[in-house]
Amino acid sequence: MKNKVSRRHFLQGAAALGALAPFSSVAFERDGSRKILVFSGNQAVPVLDPHWRYDWSTRMIQQSVYDGLLKYVGTPPKIVPWLAEKYEASPDGKTYTFTLVRNAKFHNGDPVDAEAVRYSFQRGLKMNAGVAWMLKDFLKPENIVAVDSHTVKFTLDRPFAPFITYVPWWYIVNPKQVMANEVDGDLGKKWMTENDAGSGPFKLRRFDATSLIHMDTVPDYWNGWPMGDAKRLSGVIYRIIRESAPRKAALQRREVDIIAGVTPDDFGQLEKLPGVKLANFPGFTSFGIKFNCQVGPTADVNVRKAIAFAFDYDAVLAIHNGLAELMTSPFPTPITGHIAVPGIPRKDLDKAKEFLKKSAYPDGGFELEYVHVQGLEDPRRIGLSLLDSLRPLNIKVNIVAQPWPTMTARAGKPETAPNMMSVYVTPVGTDPDTVAFQYHRDSWGLYYGVSHYENPAVWKLIADARGETDEKKRLEMYAEIQRAIVADQPEIFGMMANRIWGMRDYLKDFEYSPVRSTSEVDFYPMWIDA
């Protein structure tokens, strides 16, 4: 897909964006009589394949290009029919039968049928990456059956309470396009990295993973356009501006229409700016500083405890100007089964020193690397607070900013994972499994598993809780999981920050849903009234 627009065209497009600043009366790009929405965030989209990986920027583009059987909307989040007009669950909780809509089609005109659904779920399970963790312990590829062209049946090995809550994140791909581009049995993985085989409301026009992604709307999208065809956008451009200050300046200069990563300081400035409005919502997303539990000084639980008790939690709230809430458990407060864990660390320097004395480094005298996402101001400032917090323990902190792909690549192995890494993690549903599973062995290698946390007893509890059908017993298991994780301290349990976007006031029908990742936006309902 990336070669469909010439290099010359790309440069012209970039020049057009720049030409709007600073005196343009409008921000949006135009395509004839239609407008193009320009969104800016800091994070690249290295892989478009919906079965390979996801994070906020990646899934934002994936959900624009692809559809799922069901979809999350609104707050509190609810699941609505999408490619599936309905589903039925068997009384024993093991069989789910989905009936598909009959008018859905892929961007190349092929129908979205039961075979495409079967292929997509089987492909996700076989790749065993990205979304696979959600279902692989309960669903075998051969137990997905296309009953007829519009009916798909899933038979689970055993009941799995969160099953439906995960289905919206399994996007359906066109098997004919994928198989036509297979190389050495790779399930089309290489081709799918930067090409589109979807049925979603947008189709890919240009994919430059590190700078700009351009999507066109699908005029005859099978599910129609909520704002009506006359108001429908021509498309969306995701423009990557890594640093916070130039991103904010781009909004002020009307070079972009909406920005992610608004800092609390930016909030105060932007809310006074004519023509700009802010979306500000309490978030599900937790912020933590994850320790490397396998390699280096932080492999010692007493070092981890010492750091957790030395950390200045009030500074975190101050950095966010009160637009945040401290974590009282590894689980965010709104998640079903959350408990406030007694004794969760708060700043207590005497206790911090006691733990350090129990470690192999009683006098400190070492340096730890703290890595945060390049361009995110709040994690950088939290790193500075961490540096100050650890001075009394004679522990130095080396603050390092890295691009997200570099961080996630380092997270893959304990040998390369940093001592400490700041990570935002958004539950992909309201079920406690969505949070608990990041502490399971199978999350090692993923960004939320960067701690490489090891506790076989906790792993077993997490696995058992997934299949438990007695709700009371299940919640008791999750309470035990939360207490055990806090005792092992695989991370500093930080805070839940509000989600904030800045946007021009002519942008309409922005919809928030807390199960979307950190800065992820659903472009489908949005349009420009100007």
pLDDT digits (tens, 9 = 90+) for 224-262: 999 999 999 999 999 999 888 899 999 999 999 999 988
Q: What is the pLDDT of residue 399?
A: 97
312 and 385 in a single domain? The answer is yes
In a domain, 457, yes or no: yes
CATH code of 367's domain: 3.10.105.10
How confident is residue 10, by pLDDT bands cut at 50, 70 and 90?
very low
303 and 363 in a single domain? The answer is yes
pLDDT digits (tens, 9 = 90+) for 343-382: 999 999 999 999 999 999 999 999 999 999 887 888 999 9
Cβ atoms within 10 Å of 320's Cβ, excluding its own: 23
In a domain, 451, yes or no: yes
327 and 220 in a single domain? The answer is no
In the block, residue with structure tokens 């608990």: 436
pLDDT digits (tens, 9 = 90+) for 61-91: 999 999 999 999 998 889 999 999 999 999 9
Give the chain's domain count. 2
Asked if 39 and 258 touch (Cβ cutoff 8 Å), the reply is yes
66 and 190 in a single domain? The answer is yes
Q: Please give the average per-residue pLDDT across 218-229, as a whole number.
A: 97
316 and 193 in a single domain? The answer is no
Asked if 259 and 247 touch (Cβ cutoff 8 Å), the reply is yes
Q: What's the whole-model pTM score?
A: 0.81
524 and 482 in a single domain? The answer is no
Query: Which run of H or E residues covers position 317?
Result: helix 313-319
Q: Is the pLDDT of residue 55 over 50?
A: yes
In a domain, 151, yes or no: yes
How distant, in Å, are the alpha carbons of 133, 177, 192, 361 from that of 182?
A: 23, 9, 9, 52
Q: What angle do CA 414, 450, 392 make, to 5 degrees?
A: 90
Q: Residue 512 is encoded by which pair of tokens?
A: 């928030």
Residue 439 belongs to what domain range?
Answer: 286-497
Q: Please give the average per-residue pLDDT across 445-471, as a whole number.
A: 91
524 and 483 in a single domain? The answer is no
Q: What is the pLDDT of residue 149?
A: 97
